[in-house]
Structure 1
Amino acid sequence: DIKCRKAGLHPAAAVIVATVRAMKMNGGVKKEDLGKENIEAVRKGCLNLGRHIENVHQFGVPVVVAINHFTTDTDAEIRALKDFVASMGADAILCKHWAQGSAGIEDLAHRVVKLAESGASQFSPLYPDEMPLFEKVNTIVKRIYRGDEAIADKSIRDQLHAWEHAGYGHLPVCMAKTQYSFSTDPNLRGAPTGHTVPVREVRLSAGAGFVVIICGEIMTMPGLPKAPSSEKIFLNEQGQIEGLF
């Protein structure tokens, strides 16, 4: 919504990359059990994928789902995922490019070309430039996250109003929140509705051309992982470095 708006781009098609493992995780399966077949968890977790498909459609862009294949995926799990995507009016293409190179993703490439050349795309941004900044935030919360509302204290709202009066009200908003949920709770998986999205901080990126809305407990870049990579880097007996990748 930011890049296309600022650059005048009009996407002809969109690809959503999904995995069976991600569906199972959104279906409540623990990380250590993702390699075990669980068709019901796949079906349950597909509600999250369905939300993403609906969200892309809100921009007027046709979508195809690329299933990034893992060796632990079973035929029944893949079929469950494909059936769900079909029920959403889209296609899901199994992709094995990690093992077969370009041949493993050729079907997806043909489908993307077909979608792009169909002329079906009617891209439109989610909100107009002239909409007040906090209304833009609430539009995203309600239409993309399916929450009830964004909440922010007076100081944050006053800051947004001040930027509007300074001539920055036309800028789009960039939401910074956990990537693990449509809410600000990383443990609330699937396709939650009815939640509130707390705005903790706002930052003006005037040069980049957007306003950053920081929601919930999220760390912005630069950030460090809980376990630094340096803990796994060492010299072996031959004096060679291991653990870089």
Structure 2
Amino acid sequence: MQTDIEIAESAKVRNITEIAAQIGLSSEDLEQYGKYIAKVPLDVLNKKGTKKGKLVLVTAVTPTPAGEGKTVTTISLIQGLAKIGKKVVGALREPSMGPTFGVKGGATGGGMSQVYPMWKIDLEFTGDIHAVSAAHNLLSAVLENNLVRDNPLNIDPSRIVWKKTMDMNARELRHIVVGLGDSKLNGGVTHESGFLITSASEISAILALSTDYADLRKRLESIVVAYTYDKKPVTAGQLGCVGSMMVILRDALMPNLVQTLEGQPVFIHGFPFANIAHGNNSVIATKAAMAFGDYAVTEAGFAADLGGEKFMDIVCRQSGIRPSAVVVVASIRALMMHGGADLKNPESFTADALAKGMANLDKHVANMKGYGMPVVVSINHFYTDDPEHIAMVRSHCKDIGAECVMSDGFLKGGEGAVELAQKVVEVLEGPKPELQFCYEDGLSVKQKIESVATKIYGADGVDYSPAAEKTIAQLVDQGYGGLPVCIAKTQYSLSDNAELKGAPKGWRLNVREVNLSAGAGFIVPVCGSIMLMPGLAKEPAALKIELTDDGKIVGLK
């Protein structure tokens, strides 16, 4: 069987100018990065994107090592809609190199449902992530320089909240000390600091949420980087380097245009993680997909409790975007793992485990319905699946009032997603849904956190550390209490404990710290043991990727 990269390399794809022509863009409208990738300037989008197609949001059950296939399903749905004659445009996130060389692998789909060229997209792509890293670290450098140069803003070094960033998993850099040296000019001012992975940078979130250059500037200026000795916030705007940051991010704000293996246009832009950030591609890309297609398909990161919730409560709230339907992806084996099956014990993958594991699916479906959305459950088909198990899920979905289809996009591409595409179109032709947020703007910070915890996660309540209590009170005093919340927690459970599968009951969400992302426009409660800088696994994917002597990449997934 061919690997994903072998399938991609043998695909018969077209020049990006031909893909752009499908949505009314000429070669003069593009800034090309070789034959198969282009950026589309914002003025071109504003001038030529005139439609407002219907948007489908793809999300999933809670991730397991067995695999769910959310990105494969998203891409196959795009291909499937085209197969049945629909004008469709996709909008996806950019992969981060950290997970690509870590455990998760790339984020470009797989099998016959991929975006092309996967090796470029999974690696350096057009440099958007590098630009965010550079802008983030420039702000950090200017901040540190202010401390050395007589500290005109009266910054308290012990209250610097702006860390460093890099696009790689490096747990050893989570907590560090900077500024060591025999003098300020030699080493800077000594204080504690650390690194975030670039996708967790507030600038990543800002890039994904900005609508134009003016909005980008306003958001960058609002970033709180530190506090003064008298406890007043210091912003990036006060440091005077936002203009330089804008220059670094100029091209990065333009969305990237690529294609599926079957030639449908896809905007790939934005890369915040859903477990530690808001987890969705850029507002610009999603609006572009809706403007150029009768149907637009986008994907929220991780499961519906993370990327799905944040798409509804953050992206939609800020942008005015409204989805018309939600697809929840599940696989038989993943549901069995939520019912107690163990990958090390094949005999544990039973109908009983499947029946128990469907509680996780039920919760995610109920959550999306709670936002007022019609839901289609897509069973991502594996060739090892028992037809009786598929029938069980179909019957169960009927009982809970959700449409259910099987998708075979990995092996068959768009042809394998025709049933899914037809069902989605059928749902979209029904009554127009009205989005209902999980919480209202006027609630307190704690009420917003507790709304997500109890309604979406199924917690009995929320417990706060003393540090979290103190920070929330300070943020309210500083005027930030009206912002929505972007909860950082494990992606492996509906709870904040990665070991709890299914739909856990009788637990409380533990908020250990609270961070402010004023430029992005939300407050970040950090829960359980989640870290904003991931670490590498015992056997990371980086150990299996190689470049042959003739320049061929192998092992990339």
- Normalised by the length of structure 1, the TM-score is 0.92
* One-letter identity of the residue aligned with 1:182: L
Instruction: Note if 1:58 corresponds to 2:365.
Output: no
- 2:220 is aligned to none
Task: Select which of 20, 35, 47 maps to 2:332.
Answer: 20
Alpha-carbon distance, 1:187 to partner: 1.4
Cα deviation code 1:51-101 (max 9, x no counterpart) = 111111111111010111111111011111111111110111100011111
* One-letter identity of the residue aligned with 2:378: A
The one of the two structures with greater contact order (alpha-carbon pairs below 8 A, sep at least 6) is 2
Cα deviation code 1:112-163 (max 9, x no counterpart) = 1222221251211111112111111111111111111111123312211221
Instruction: Note if 1:153 corresponds to 2:461.
Output: no
- 1:119 is aligned to 431
Alpha-carbon distance, 1:32 to partner: 3.1
* One-letter identity of the residue aligned with 1:165: D
Quick one: distance in 1 between partners of 2:434 and 2:346? Answer: 38
1:164-243 equivalence runs, <5 A? 164-220=476-532, 222-226=533-537, 227-234=539-546, 242-243=554-555
Instruction: Note if 1:39 corresponds to 2:351.
Output: yes
Quick one: distance in 2 between partners of 1:239 and 1:105? Answer: 34
Alpha-carbon distance, 1:164 to partner: 1.9
1:68-83 equivalence runs, <5 A? 68-83=380-395
Whether the 8 Å contact between 2:409 and 2:415 is mirrored in structure 1 is yes
Distance 1:165 1:38, change over 3 A: same
Whether the 8 Å contact between 1:173 and 1:213 is mirrored in structure 2 is yes
Alpha-carbon distance, 1:36 to partner: 7.2
Quick one: distance in 1 between partners of 2:467 and 2:496? Answer: 21
DSSP-derived class of the 1:185 partner:
coil
Whether the 8 Å contact between 2:458 and 2:504 is mirrored in structure 1 is yes
DSSP-derived class of the 2:510 partner:
strand
Alpha-carbon distance, 1:219 to partner: 1.9
DSSP-derived class of the 1:167 partner:
coil
Distance 1:238 1:45, change over 3 A: same
Whether the 8 Å contact between 2:337 and 2:349 is mirrored in structure 1 is no
- Normalised by the length of structure 2, the TM-score is 0.42
Whether the 8 Å contact between 1:10 and 1:123 is mirrored in structure 2 is yes
Quick one: distance in 2 between partners of 1:228 and 1:181? Answer: 22
DSSP-derived class of the 1:139 partner:
helix
DSSP-derived class of the 1:231 partner:
helix
Task: Select which of 7, 11, 22 maps to 2:323.
Answer: 11
Long gaps (5+) in structure 2:
1-312
Quick one: distance in 2 between partners of 1:60 and 1:190? Answer: 23
Quick one: distance in 1 between partners of 2:536 and 2:324? Answer: 36
Cα deviation code 1:189-225 (max 9, x no counterpart) = 11112201111111111111111111101122x4233
Distance 1:203 1:7, change over 3 A: same
Quick one: distance in 2 between partners of 1:34 and 1:161? Answer: 51
Task: Select which of 406, 421, 443 maps to 1:131.
Answer: 443
* One-letter identity of the residue aligned with 2:513: E
Task: Select which of 66, 77, 87 maps to 2:399.
Answer: 87
> % of aligned pairs identical?
38
Distance 1:117 1:241, change over 3 A: closer
Long gaps (5+) in structure 1:
none
Task: Select which of 422, 426, 429 maps to 1:110.
Answer: 422
- 2:242 is aligned to none
Whether the 8 Å contact between 2:367 and 2:456 is mirrored in structure 1 is yes
Whether the 8 Å contact between 2:467 and 2:512 is mirrored in structure 1 is no
* One-letter identity of the residue aligned with 1:144: I
Q: Out of 86-95 and 3-12, give the one that drifted further.
A: 3-12
Whether the 8 Å contact between 1:146 and 1:192 is mirrored in structure 2 is yes
Quick one: distance in 1 between partners of 2:370 and 2:484? Answer: 17
Alpha-carbon distance, 1:235 to partner: 6.4
Alpha-carbon distance, 1:10 to partner: 2.1
Distance 1:120 1:240, change over 3 A: closer
Q: Out of 194-203 and 112-121, give the one that drifted further.
A: 112-121
Total equivalences in the alignment? 244
Quick one: distance in 1 between partners of 2:391 and 2:347? Answer: 16
Alpha-carbon distance, 1:236 to partner: 6.8
* One-letter identity of the residue aligned with 1:198: N
Distance 1:236 1:120, change over 3 A: closer
- Larger C-alpha radius of gyration, 1 or 2? 2
Quick one: distance in 2 between partners of 1:81 and 1:74? Answer: 11
